[in-house]
Structure 1
Amino acid sequence: MGDAYKFRLQKLLDIRQDFEDKSKLEFKEAQREKNIVENELNNLKETYKTHRNIDAYESIIKQKIKQNYLNALNYAIDKSTIVFEDKGKILDKKREELKQCQVEKKTVEILKEKQKIAFLKEQNLIEQKSNDEFALFAFIRNNTMIHGNK
Structure 2
Amino acid sequence: MKRYNFRLQKLLDIRVGKEEQCKMAFQKTQREKVEAEFKLHDLKDSYKRHNVIENESSTVERKMRQQYLSNLTISIKTATLDLEKKQNKVEIAREELKKSQVDRKTVEILKDKGFKNYLKEEEAREQRANDEFALYGFIRNLKGGEISDR
What TM-score comes out, normalization by structure 1 length? 0.97
Structure 1 position 56, deviation (Å): 3.1
Identity of aligned residues (%): 44
Name which of structure 1's ranges 139-148 and 56-65 shifts more when overlaid on structure 2.
Answer: 56-65
Query: What TM-score comes out, normalization by structure 2 length?
Result: 0.97
Calculate the aligned-residue CA RMSD, in Å. Answer: 0.7
Equivalent position amino acid for 1:90 in 2: K
**In structure 2, distance between residues paired with 1:103 and 1:18:** 13
Partner of 2:104: 105
Equivalent position of 1:4 in the other structure: 3
1:57 Cα deviation from its structure 2 partner: 3.0
Cα distance in structure 1, aligned partners of 2:51 and 2:138: 100
The aligned length equals 149
Aligned to 1:126: 125
Q: Report the AA paired with residue 20 of structure 1.
A: E
Question: Take 2:3 and 2:142, find their aligned partners in 1: how far apart are those partners?
Answer: 37
CA distance in 2, matches of 1:80, 1:147: 99
SS of equivalent to 2:55:
coil
Name segments (4+ residues, structure 1) moved above 4 Å: none
- In structure 1, what is the Cα distance between the partners aligned to 2:68 and 2:55? 16
Could you tell me how far apart the structure 1 residues matched to 2:91 and 2:107 are? 25
Unmatched segments (≥5 aa) in structure 2:
none
Q: Is the contact between residue 54 and residue 66 of structure 1 (CA under 8 Å) also seen in structure 2?
A: no
Aligned partners of 1:51 and 1:70 also within 8 Å: yes
User: What is the CA–CA distance in structure 1 between the aligned matches of 2:54 and 2:89, rounded to whole Å?
Assistant: 42
Matches within 5 A, 1:50-61: 50-61=49-60
Once the 2 structures are TM-superposed, how far is the Cα of residue 68 of structure 1 from its aligned partner?
Answer: 0.4
Alpha-carbon offset, residue 42 of structure 1: 0.5
